[in-house]
Copies of this chain bind each other. A is one copy, B any other.
Amino acid sequence: MRGVYVAGVGMTNVGRHTNTSLRDLGGIAALKAIEEAGNERPEALVIGNMLSSLIEQENLASLIGDHIGLRGVSGFKVEGACGSGGVAIMTGYSLIASGLFNKVLVVGVEKLLERPPSDVIRGLAYAADADYELVHGVTFSGLNALVMRYYMGKHGIDYEEIAEWSVLMHRNGSRNPFAQLRNEITLEDVVRSPLIADPIRLYDSCPLSDGAAAVYLVSEKLRRVNDTPVTIVGIGNALDSTDLTSRPELDDLLASRVSADKALRMAKVRVEDIDVAEIHDAYTITAALSIESIGFAERGRAPRMWCEGRFSPGDKPTVNPSGGLKARGHPVGATGVYQLAEVVMQLRGDFPGVKVPAEIGLTQNIGGVGSNATTVVLKR
């Protein structure tokens, strides 16, 4: 298989971009990545997005491609709910590895805050099972709450242990100029925040976000501005059921586990060798499940480990130095592309927030309540 390299990255800050159109938002991130890649014209454009239907716009590759001068190139949108960015990267990777193209731009973009929150909450639930779950009136937070309650009971974990994750994420996010939530918080802030879906509180949840990120993939090591090319050495993606009820164990994220296993085996990298990771903490419970599925912790052990200071800056692996979905924010279909761009910057040494000295990095992006996942392993 042909090698795939990251020649450039770009991102907007995460937050509210009400006065920036979808095409502008995607275009800003895209043009930054193209500039880093020496202003080479991409041959194909892959868009990661979940919910542009809420603002009555599909066909985003044409929309954003034309906006940045790419008529005549190939392009389309890829969707896997909150994991749309990850599957867009998987697609971009295969377009280059196949030999079809040598230069592929992957843009993750999401613009949610133009719509009222009730519409967005409803849209996010399209990631769940409309026929078997949503029909009962459950929300996406409600489904994650079921998993969190199950996890706490099975492993004897206190709420406060899980909630410590938010404190760490806000501390990391406070140093990331692209992050949506840059205020440090205390455990008491989390515990006193409003209940969303028992036991999930407001501060256990990522915010609703607008944002766009881009990565420029190439088939050979192009000389970049800072002369430190990054290689995608492993990539894996897997599906689980959409609904929760048919899973044998609610705390075993099959898609997350299988995708990490595929990526690590392809990369010939042991999980112990990972220096830095950006994982999918849409809720604090999701952080625990993702960390455990990747193999950074045994099942039921992650919260106690982060309470003991593990995964913090200085530890190996450092997890979510960006602040994660919790503090950097979660512009749904863009999140997986943010993660990749952030880890690329860590490996290059130019991430503008918490810096992690790193040679090997990993990203994991999850869609639905673990119903799909993409894991990428990168090397400097």
Which residues of A come within 8 Å of B, CB atoms?
1-2, 21, 23, 45, 50-59, 61-63, 65-66, 70-81, 83-84, 87, 90-91, 93-100, 122-123, 125-131, 134, 235-243, 246, 254-255, 258, 367-368, 371-372
Contact = CB atoms under 8 A, between A and B. Distances in A.
Given A73-B238, A80-B77, A238-B73, A56 B129 contact: no
Nearest to A24: B131
A100 B91 CA distance: 11
28 contacts: A1-B98, A53-B54, A53-B126, A56-B122, A56-B126, A58-B81, A59-B79, A61-B80, A62-B80, A62-B239, A62-B242, A66-B241, A66-B243, A66-B246, A71-B239, A71-B241, A72-B255, A72-B258, A74-B90, A74-B236, A76-B83, A76-B91, A77-B78, A78-B91, A93-B98, A94-B98, A94-B100, A97-B100
Nearest to A82: B59
A126 B57 contact: yes
Contact of A90 (B50, B76, B122): B76
B239 A75 contact: yes
Contacts of A59: 79-81, 126-128, 242, 367-368, 371-372
Nearest to A235: B100
A176 to B, nearest CB: 28
Contact of A240 (B71, B77, B96, B236): B71
A241 B1 CA distance: 33
A18 to B, nearest CB: 14
A58 B127 contact: yes
A97 to B, nearest CB: 4
A83 to B, nearest CB: 8
Contacts of A134: 56
A66 B239 contact: yes
B126 A75 contact: no
Nearest to A259: B74
Nearest to A127: B59
Given A56-B130, A77-B80, A98-B98, A240 B21 contact: no
Name, among A73, A76, A91, A97, the residue most crowded by chain B CB atoms within 10 Å (CB to CB). A76
A45 B239 CA distance: 9
Contact of A99 (B1, B80, B372): B1
B78 A78 contact: yes
Contact of A371 (B55, B62, B80): B62
B62 A100 contact: no
A230 to B, nearest CB: 19
A375 to B, nearest CB: 11
A75 B236 CA distance: 10
A2 B246 CA distance: 38
A243 B78 CA distance: 21
Given A66-B242, A240-B66, A241-B71, A76 B76 contact: no
